[in-house]
């Protein structure tokens, strides 16, 4: 219950979660949901490539929920479910290590790190799936059961459709874990069959993947200077000192829980463990240490930008710290002691959630004007949006940059900038003669709206949405067919109207 509340509570605090990329994930999910709905005009623009670019799980989940819930409710519900994979993955990992799955509570605050607020939901969920894969591997090697083998196979397939570039990490992790555990278990074959489906899918992807996902070759130079900024990549979503304080406190609590568990084992529990049990636990710790080392190497070696991907190596900081939590000692066996440390972890998680919720409420207050202006936008607009002003939130990085993509998620139509143009999404712009797509824009167009020239960039669009503190009417002066419609707070709406010919004599 604590985990559910910790993950779900902020989503009730804001109409629009302050996650930078989430509006485009919402739009992509809506494309799957309404692809065959002519009132959304998605078939005219897009084509779907589920195996070439298999980032599908969150989109399909959101699209399915859109059948039952309003668009924004479906987006928030699906996002919360994806984020729950993080503590669930840690619980599975510790379970596989013969520890209490209650240690998964220690992973709950990682849900609200920088990656989530950038909107990298697939990557965050993939970290949890990676942890679950290692945990299930340990369990299979410990006690081979078909249901656990099936679970491992399904987790790896789900990982393929969640974040395909995390799958090689998981495959290597499963194989290395198996090799490390061999002296303790004497088993290897039970994990081979669960690997087969995901390995086959990965081979198909590598054969079909588009150029946008091939990227340049890597030199794997280690950057030791990155140790200094490690924690800045894990936390720092808000300009709120309380965020770092509760994150620091949580790590202290985790360490204290580990110390308390060690003391309890020696002075209270005094468990009698067999030599085989001790060997298994030690090998399992080494295996998890190997997984931590693998992602730690990625943190030190990967570049900041890789092909169309940005913010590449910083993502691994969260994975390193998250997996390392599994190395803390098991919870005490005595009921009162276990209950006590569990309560401490739960309260710490709720404390992190409270800080996040407070900042989300601030964002909700400054996006009421966006809700109001959206009511003036018709179904399926050809929408050109320009975010000139990014002030008003407590986010360290702008959550406004892609906010207008929610218009497409709810109403369909076209957008002046779209992730579909990158070629790194299962949703891609059509390139045939019958396609009706917006004109291409230069790189980082969305971040540099001052490059907009109505005579060059405006003719395709019939609706214009601008976030600015001052009147942006000057932007459209060269096109008299574009008229002012409404203003709500910082948002200004314009629409193209037909120009009536002058009356005759």
Phi and psi dihedrals of 338, rounded to 5?
-65, -40
Q: Which two tokens stand for residue 457?
A: 């960039």
Question: Can you tell me the distance from the alpha carbon of 301 to that of 304, in angstroms, rounded to the nearest whole number?
Answer: 10
Question: Can you tell me the distance from the alpha carbon of 182 to that of 280, in angstroms, rounded to the nearest whole number?
Answer: 10
Beta-carbon contacts of 223 under 8 Å, excluding residues fewer than 6 positions away, are: 300, 301, 313
Give yes or no for a contact between 32 and 48, defined as CB atoms under 8 angstroms apart. yes
Give yes or no for a contact between 486 and 376, defined as CB atoms under 8 angstroms apart. yes
Question: Can you tell me the distance from the alpha carbon of 355 to that of 87, in angstroms, rounded to the nearest whole number?
Answer: 19
**Amino acid 342: pLDDT:** 83
Question: Can you tell me the distance from the alpha carbon of 83 to that of 125, in angstroms, rounded to the nearest whole number?
Answer: 6
Question: Can you tell me the distance from the alpha carbon of 82 to that of 137, in angstroms, rounded to the nearest whole number?
Answer: 22
**Amino acid 278: pLDDT:** 83
Give yes or no for a contact between 82 and 122, defined as CB atoms under 8 angstroms apart. yes
Query: Given the structure tokens 């890597």, which residue do they identify?
Result: 218
Q: Which two tokens stand for residue 49?
A: 């490539």
Question: Can you tell me the distance from the alpha carbon of 496 to that of 481, in angstroms, rounded to the nearest whole number?
Answer: 5
Beta-carbon contacts of 394 under 8 Å, excluding residues fewer than 6 positions away, are: 238, 239, 240, 359, 362, 363
Question: Can you tell me the distance from the alpha carbon of 220 to that of 325, in angstroms, rounded to the nearest whole number?
Answer: 26
Give yes or no for a contact between 482 and 458, defined as CB atoms under 8 angstroms apart. yes
Question: Can you tell me the distance from the alpha carbon of 305 to that of 310, in angstroms, rounded to the nearest whole number?
Answer: 4
Low-confidence ranges of the chain (pLDDT < 70): 212, 214-218, 266-273, 499-505
**Amino acid 339: pLDDT:** 82
Query: Given the structure tokens 């002046």, which residue do they identify?
Result: 416
The three-state secondary structure class of 99 is coil
**Amino acid 461: pLDDT:** 95
Query: Given the structure tokens 């002296």, which residue do they identify?
Result: 183
Question: Can you tell me the distance from the alpha carbon of 459 to that of 442, in angstroms, rounded to the nearest whole number?
Answer: 17
Cα→Cα distances 248→113, 235, 302, 443, Å: 12, 10, 26, 38
**Amino acid 393: pLDDT:** 93
Strand order of the β-sheet with 414-415 is 414-415, 382-387, 463-467, 491-496, 482-488
pLDDT digits (tens, 9 = 90+) for 430-449: 989 889 999 998 888 899 99
**Amino acid 423: pLDDT:** 78
**Amino acid 361: pLDDT:** 96
Q: Which two tokens stand for residue 398?
A: 């702008």
Q: Which two tokens stand for residue 304?
A: 């900041």
């Amino acid at each position: 219950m604590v985990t559910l509340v910790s993950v779900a509570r902020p989503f009730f605090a804001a109409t629009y979660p302050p996650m930078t990329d989430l509006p485009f994930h919402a739009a992509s999910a809506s494309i799957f949901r309404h692809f065959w709905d002519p009132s959304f005009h998605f078939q005219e623009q897009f084509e779907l490539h589920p195996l070439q670019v298999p980032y599908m799980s969150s989109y399909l989940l959101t699209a399915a929920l859109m059948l039952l819930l309003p668009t924004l409710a479906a987006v928030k519900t699906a996002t919360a479910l994806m984020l729950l994979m993080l503590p669930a993955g840690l619980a599975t990992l510790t379970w596989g290590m013969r520890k209490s799955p209650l240690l998964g509570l220690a992973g709950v605050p990682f849900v609200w790190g920088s990656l989530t607020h950038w909107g990298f939901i697939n990557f965050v969920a993939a970290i949890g799936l990676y942890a679950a894969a290692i945990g299930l591997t340990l369990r299979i090697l410990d006690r081979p059961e078909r249901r656990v083998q099936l679970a491992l196979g399904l987790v790896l397939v789900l990982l393929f459709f969640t974040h395909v570039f995390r799958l090689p990490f998981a495959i290597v992790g499963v194989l290395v874990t198996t090799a490390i555990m061999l002296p303790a278990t004497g088993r290897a074959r039970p994990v081979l069959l669960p690997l087969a489906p995901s390995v086959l899918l990965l081979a198909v992807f590598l054969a079909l993947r588009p150029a946008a996902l091939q990227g340049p070759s890597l030199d794997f130079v280690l950057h030791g200077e990155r140790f200094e900024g490690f924690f800045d990549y894990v936390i720092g979503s808000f300009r709120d000192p309380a965020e770092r304080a509760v994150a620091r406190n949580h790590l202290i609590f985790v360490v204290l829980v580990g110390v308390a568990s060690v003391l309890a084992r020696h002075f209270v529990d005094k468990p009698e463990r067999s030599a085989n049990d001790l060997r298994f636990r030690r090998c399992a710790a080494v295996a998890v240490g190997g997984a931590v080392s693998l992602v730690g190497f990625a943190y030190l070696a990967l570049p900041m930008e890789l092909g169309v991907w940005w913010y590449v190596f910083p993502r691994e900081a969260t994975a390193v710290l998250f997996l390392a939590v599994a190395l803390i000692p098991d919870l005490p066996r005595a009921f009162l002691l276990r209950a006590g440390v569990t309560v401490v972890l739960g309260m710490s998680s709720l404390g992190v959630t409270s800080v996040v919720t407070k900042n989300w409420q601030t964002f909700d207050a400054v996006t009421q004007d966006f809700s109001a202006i959206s009511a003036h936008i018709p179904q399926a607009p050809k929408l050109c949006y320009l975010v000139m002003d990014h002030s008003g939130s407590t986010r360290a990085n702008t959550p406004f940059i892609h906010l207008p993509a929610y218009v497409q998620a709810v109403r369909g139509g076209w957008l002046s900038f779209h992730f579909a143009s990158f070629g790194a999404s299962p949703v891609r712009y059509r390139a045939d003669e019958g396609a009706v797509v917006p004109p291409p824009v230069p790189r980082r167009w969305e971040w540099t709206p001052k490059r907009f020239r109505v005579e060059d960039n405006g003719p395709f669009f019939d609706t214009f949405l601008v976030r600015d503190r001052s009147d942006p009417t000057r932007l459209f002066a060269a096109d008299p067919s574009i008229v002012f419609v409404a203003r709500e707070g910082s948002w200004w709406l314009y629409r193209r109207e037909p120009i009536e010919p002058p009356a005759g004599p």
